[in-house]
Every structure is written in structure tokens, then in C-alpha cells.
Structure 1
């Protein structure tokens, strides 16, 4: 099962996006684990995920996340418009592109 980690600040808006992404995955029949954590808790699961997406509000922490994954998985900041409109399908599609599926 693929795992997508969304890195956020406090988690409120990112939790909404996680739910939208899960809805989009369910509509496709995809079995995928999608969850959000603040940067301070990300290191505990970073070795178990297939892609890391950062909320735009924590884009300044991308270098820190890059150093945690050490090139093992893709790390990208979620496009601002997709995040702002909570477009779970678009963000999920991008995650799959990054994973290579």
C-alpha cells in the first residue's frame, strides 16, 4: 500500500485536504494511506512513506524535509491553488505522478 505524508503547521486545513484526497482515492478504488503531521513529528514516519507533500504554509521547511528523506522519496510543496481550493483529486494525481504511477 502506498503512503502519502502531508507536512503541515498545525494540521487543521491539511486534515481537510487529507479527507478530500481519501475521497478521490476511494472513488478510483485506490487503496492508499494518506495522513498529515507537523514537521516535528514527521521524522517518526519518514522512512515508511512513498512521497512527502508540504503545505504551502511550510514551504520554507522543504530543505529540512529533503535532508530527512535523503533522496529516498520525492518531496514537493503542494501547489497553492490546489491547496487553497482543497482540490484533493489534483493533489492526489500529483502525488501519483511523483511516485511514478
Structure 2
């Protein structure tokens, strides 16, 4: 599963991505080989969209949803907008859980 974290291009999203990677690594149920994480600025989302399974949107670009939706909707990519509190705590476990739930919901709609 490829999870793309989309932000304004800052360092903090890479920190959140690392927290998500650590969650997978330390999990008894999840396998690192099943996950790929990429952190990108929103400006290059188009180049990653074809291989994206779930999009994680940082709170600092939540206002760009009108720009993001037309890019991801043709591919039926589910997305999660991370709230400020979760982002501030760099709570990768919560973000990963939300991403997995959204992917599962999307799969059930097929």
C-alpha cells in the first residue's frame, strides 16, 4: 500500500511519515513490506497520483482540497485530512489508522 503524505513542502510532514513508518515497524500485525510512504509537496501530487492508495493531507494545506479533489477523484483515491492536534503530536499511529480505514471503506465500495 502506497500512502502519500501531501503538504506544503515542509520538514514536519517527513517527521509524521517517519512516525507512521515506526508504527508499522513496531506493529505485530502490520508488515513493513506491505507499505510504501512518500512525502511530497501538493504541487507535485499529479506525478504520484497514479500509484497512490491513500492520500494523507496535512492541516496546513486542508484549504487546498478544491485543488486536490479533481486530481484524486478520477483514481478513486481515498484521503484523510490530518487535524492540527494529531499533526502537532506527530501521532503517526492515529494517522495510519485513519488512512487504513479510508482505504478499507474505498475497497468496500468497489
Taking structure 1 as the reference length, what is the TM-score of the superposition? 0.91
Which residue, out of 93, 96, 99, partners 2:97? 93
* Structure 1 portions without partners, runs of 5+: none
RMSD over aligned CA atoms reads 1.4
User: Does residue 63 in structure 1 map to residue 39 in structure 2?
Assistant: no
Greater helix content: 2
Preserved contact between residue 62 and residue 76 of structure 1 (Cα < 8 Å): no
* Structure 2 portions without partners, runs of 5+: 106-110
Q: Distance in 2 between matches of 1:67 and 1:76?
A: 15
Taking structure 2 as the reference length, what is the TM-score of the superposition? 0.84
- Give the superposition deviation at 1:82: 1.0
* Partner SS state of residue 69, structure 1: helix
Map of 1:77 onto structure 2: 81
4+ aligned runs moved over 2 Å, structure 1: none
How many aligned positions are there?
Answer: 100
